[in-house]
């Protein structure tokens, strides 16, 4: 659990500067402009670290599932080799997904004086401002969003349904509390991550 937590912390430390650094520069220079290369770079790293957050949170849910539902086999199943392999898969999948999405944006042509109605270069907003055909970019973007956002959330909910079912079978109240307390921090992070993401995109869609 701490191995995955340390990697999640590292990803979040890398994730924050992708938007905050540019925001601070804008405040300092009193300018909201960003170069095309800067916008593409920001989108790449934003998608990369968002994907990593999603995947690592899902892997952590699996880790809690094994710890609570198969406690005697936990040291054997969640061995250092498997943990390293799961993290490697998270990185490779996120890098490839981010690269694919950016490669679909690069061929697009944009009109002059384009304004993004967002506080950073969000891929959906950028693609919809293109002057050329965006069908393929939209297709890749929405497939990625379903697999990345919805797919990982379904995975987390599935593991927690198994965890809740296992906790309900514990006879003592102390045992139930102890089992649930190991998941509380992860659940709070998942709620914050998905809650704020949904809030930002829903409010953006409304405005």
What CA–CA distance (Å, rounded) separates 163 from 175?
Answer: 13
- Classify domain 2-206 by CATH architecture: Up-down Bundle (1.20)
What CA–CA distance (Å, rounded) separates 29 from 127?
Answer: 27
Within 10 angstroms of residue 104's Cβ, the number of other Cβ atoms is 19
Amino acid 1: pLDDT:
79
Q: How many Cα atoms within 13 Å fall on the side-chain side of residue 62?
A: 17
Residue-level pLDDT, tens digit, the chain, 207 residues = 788 989 999 998 998 889 888 888 888 888 888 888 999 999 999 999 999 999 999 999 999 999 888 888 999 999 999 999 999 999 999 999 999 999 999 998 888 777 887 778 888 888 888 888 888 888 998 888 888 888 888 999 999 899 888 888 877 777 777 777 778 878 888 888 888 877 776 666 666
Return the domain boundaries, the chain. 2-206
- pTM here? 0.86
């Amino acid at each position: 659990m701490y191995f995955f937590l340390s990697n999640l912390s590292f990803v979040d430390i890398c994730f924050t500067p992708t938007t905050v650094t540019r925001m601070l520069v804008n405040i300092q220079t009193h300018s909201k402009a960003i170069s095309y290369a800067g916008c593409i770079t920001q989108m790449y790293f934003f998608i990369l670290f968002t994907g990593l957050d999603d995947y690592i949170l899902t892997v952590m849910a699996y880790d809690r599932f094994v710890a609570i539902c198969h406690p005697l086999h936990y040291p054997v199943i969640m061995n250092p080799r498997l943990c390293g392999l799961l993290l490697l898969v998270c990185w490779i999948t996120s890098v490839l997904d981010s690269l694919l999405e950016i490669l679909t944006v690069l061929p697009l042509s944009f009109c002059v004086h384009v304004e993004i109605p967002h506080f950073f270069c969000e891929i959906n907003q950028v693609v919809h401002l293109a002057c050329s055909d965006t069908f393929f970019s939209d297709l890749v973007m929405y497939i990625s969003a379903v697999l990345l956002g919805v797919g990982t959330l379904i995975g987390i909910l599935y593991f927690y349904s198994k965890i809740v079912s296992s906790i309900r079978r514990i006879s003592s109240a102390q045992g139930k509390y102890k089992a649930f307390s190991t998941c509380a921090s992860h659940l709070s992070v998942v709620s914050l991550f998905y809650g704020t993401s949904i809030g930002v995109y829903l409010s953006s869609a409304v405005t």
